[in-house]
């Protein structure tokens, strides 16, 4: 299992690095364009649920593919693997990164927030948890993992980036190197763990 983890982490370095680079490009555009934080917040709360759908889909599909696929276990594994690790990747690690850089950052846990989303009027916790259940249903129904996994990695990178610009106040341009590092770490290990390692821990063929 440890060898498998090392192989998967190594395979994901180029793609994760490329994703983090696109995040830096987006951040430069946001800074130079003086994009309001409200737009970053809306974008974050759009990308984060989509990230969770793909994460839940892949996590559930991996478990179903390599086990007997008990539905109650698939729901539990798909939910914890997506909500827990996506929250770590998209919100907790960016917040900790900002704290380490002495940036004023707001702390948010989207899947328990009761504020309503703009336009659709749905509470954030309802949207996030519904996204997880939708991903679980899709992953249990059809075990497609490749494309959703790479989409998950890319969306996670962008969600982490928009957390920085939505809830952090800083002069970002001098900090781009540090932001790249935190974007890379926020995605590289958590996404591999949630999509590949975590579901296989509960299978006999792991």
**What does the domain layout of the chain look like in residue ranges?**
38-200
Supply the mean pLDDT for the chain: 84
Q: Could you report the per-residue pLDDT of 154-174, keeping only the tens digit for each?
A: 888 899 999 999 998 888 989
In this prediction, residue 26 has a pLDDT band, given cuts at 50, 70 and 90, of very high
| Angle between the N-to-C axes of helices 2-32 and 176-192, in degrees from 0 to 180, rounded to the nearest 10 | 140
Token duo for residue 186: 């926020």
Contact between residue 56 and residue 149 where contact means Cβ atoms under 8 Å apart: no
| Angle between the N-to-C axes of helices 146-167 and 2-32, in degrees from 0 to 180, rounded to the nearest 10 | 40
In this prediction, residue 151 has a pLDDT band, given cuts at 50, 70 and 90, of confident
Token duo for residue 105: 């950052």
Token duo for residue 142: 């059809």
Q: Could you report the per-residue pLDDT of 111-129, keeping only the tens digit for each?
A: 999 998 876 788 999 999 9
Best-predicted range by mean pLDDT among 12-16, 20-24, 154-158, 199-203?
20-24
pLDDT, mean of residues 28-51: 91
- Asked if pLDDT for residue 14 goes beyond 70, the answer is yes
Query: Dihedral of CA 105/110/115/120: which sign?
Result: positive
- Alpha-carbon span 163 to 41, nearest angstrom: 7
pTM for the model: 0.86
Q: Which residues contact 61 (CB under 8 A, 6 or more apart)?
A: 139, 140, 142, 143, 144, 145, 148
């Amino acid at each position: 299992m440890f060898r498998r983890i090392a192989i998967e982490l190594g395979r994901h370095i180029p793609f994760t690095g490329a994703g983090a680079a696109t995040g830096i490009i987006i951040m430069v555009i946001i800074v130079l364009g003086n994009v309001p934080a409200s737009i970053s917040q809306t974008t974050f709360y759009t990308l984060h649920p989509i990230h969770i759908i793909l994460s839940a889909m892949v996590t559930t599909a991996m478990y179903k593919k390599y086990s007997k696929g008990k539905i109650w276990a698939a729901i539990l594994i798909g939910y914890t693997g997506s909500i827990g690790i996506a929250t770590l990747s998209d919100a907790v690690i960016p917040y900790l990164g900002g704290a380490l850089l002495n940036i004023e950052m707001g702390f948010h846990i989207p899947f328990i927030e009761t504020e309503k989303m703009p336009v659709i009027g749905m509470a954030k916790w309802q949207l996030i948890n519904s996204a997880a259940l939708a991903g679980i249903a899709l992953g249990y129904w059809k075990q497609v993992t490749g494309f959703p996994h790479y989409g998950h990695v890319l969306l996670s990178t962008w969600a982490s980036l928009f957390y920085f610009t939505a809830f952090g106040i800083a002069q970002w341009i001098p900090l781009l190197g540090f932001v790249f590092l935190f974007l890379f770490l926020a995605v590289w290990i958590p996404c591999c763990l949630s999509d590949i390692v975590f579901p296989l821990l509960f299978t006999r063929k792991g």
